Amino acid sequence: MERLPGWIRQHLAAIRALLVLTVVLGIAYPLAVTGVAQALLNDQANGSPVRKDGAVVGSSLIGQSFTGKDGAPIRKYFQSRPSAAGNGYDPTASGASNLGPENVLDMLAVPGAKNAKGEPDTGKRSLLTEVCARSRAVGELEGVSGARPYCTDDGVGAVLKVFPAVGTPTRVVSANQACPATPFVAEYQGVKVECAKPGEDLAAGRTVPVQGTAPAVVPADAVTASGSGLDPHISVAYAELQAPRVAKERGIPLERVRRLIADNTTGRALGFMGEPAVNVLTLNLALDKG
């Protein structure tokens, strides 16, 4: 050992150091934590399972979709937020949309075209259009206005492409409204607004999102995907919005639904941490239990 060159001795020491630290920190430590956690905090350590009629139906910490096989909302259930995890609330594919704040231009589906896999082209929605479309759908489901700033009445992003990019406009296209849709404004600075021809490259134009005057009724969390895609909560405002529909669908008094919302609401921890939030799974479970 002592006769080996210094650099070899250092590497041998490094290997042994790594192995002994792996035993202590990588095996003994997690096993010790697991032992104590399983003994003292069994429910939490095993994922806070929730049961219905004795069978585990999920975790109170992991959100679920309350939609039917066709993807349509099941009307007797409170709906969760939109999710970017797999096909929605898939814990094997957690994650966010990662779409940015100026992601406002759709790639419109070109009729008859195929994508790389040979499937029909479905285009790609921008984050703005996702938000507008969700807002419209929630509005329809709950019987309120789904209108929002920067959204058209038909539920896409209200964005104009103005040509030329600099100077007096000569041509204006409503970028997210595929022909033959009627553009959300007829004129922009005296120029007639056209609908968009799918497949046409509009990159050279100036992007002008149009705010409009409509206030939003549908809450923010109802139109956005969470970071994990597994968010078990919705805001109190979104729960309140859904309450009349659920009460009507189940034929129970609205007051009762409201009380259950309150029972399943977590306030801010210590009064200042986080935001009040309603657990959708436990709320729906409480409704099912009657």
Partner 1 sequence: MSPTVAGIVFIASLVVALAIVHRPLGDYMYRVYTGTRHLAVERVIYRVIGVRPDSGQRWTVYARSVLAFSAVSILFLYAFQRLQDKLFLSLGFGPVPDHIAWNTAVSFVTNTNWQAYSGESTMGHLVQMAGLAVQNFVSAAVGMAVAIALVRGFARKATDDLGNFWVDLVRGSIRILLPLAFVGALVLVAGGLIQNFADPHTVATLAGGNQTITGGPVASQEIIKEMGNNGGGFYNANSAHPFENATSWTNWVEIFAILMLPFSLPRTFGRMVGDKRQGYAIVAIMGVLALASVSVLTWLELSHNGTVPQAIGAAMEGKEARFGVANSGTFAAATTLTSTGAVNSFHDSYTALGGMITMFNMMLGEVAPGGVGSGLYGMLVLAVITVFVAGLMVGRTPEYLGKKIGSREIKLASLYFLTTPALVLIGTALAMASPEQRASMLNGGAHGLSEVLYAFTSASNNNGSAFAGLTVNTPWYDTALGLCMAFGRFLPMVFVLGLAGSLARQSPIPASAGTLPTHRPQFVGMVVGVTIILVGLTFLPALALGPLAEGIH
Q: Does 113 bind partner 1 (CB under 8 A)?
A: no
User: In the range 131-190, which residues lie near partner 1 by CB under 8 A?
Assistant: 131-132, 148-151, 157
Residues 6+ apart with CB under 8 A from 62: 47, 89, 91, 230, 232, 281
CB of 198 closer than 8 Å to CB of 123: yes
Among 11, 192, 197, 259, binds partner 1 (CB under 8 A): 11
Please name every residue paired with 193 in a beta bridge, in sequence order, or none if there are none. 172
User: Alpha-carbon distance 24 to 6, whole Å?
Assistant: 27
Stretch that binds partner 1, among 38-46, 110-118, 137-145, 244-252 (CB under 8 A): 38-46
Stretch that binds partner 1, among 81-89, 110-118, 240-248, 252-260 (CB under 8 A): 81-89
Q: How far is the CB of 182 from partner 1 (least distance, A)?
A: 21
Among 68, 143, 164, 253, binds partner 1 (CB under 8 A): 68
Please name every residue paired with 73 in a beta bridge, in sequence order, or none if there are none. 67
Residue among 43 and 112 whose Cβ is closer to partner 1: 43
Stretch that binds partner 1, among 34-42, 137-145, 170-178, 256-264 (CB under 8 A): 34-42
Distances (CA, A) of 5 to 2, 10, 11, 19, 154: 8, 9, 10, 22, 76
Residue among 31 and 254 whose Cβ is closer to partner 1: 31
Please name every residue paired with 278 in a beta bridge, in sequence order, or none if there are none. 234, 265
What single letter denotes the amino acid at residue 101?
A: P
Stretch that binds partner 1, among 89-97, 137-145, 163-171, 177-185 (CB under 8 A): 89-97
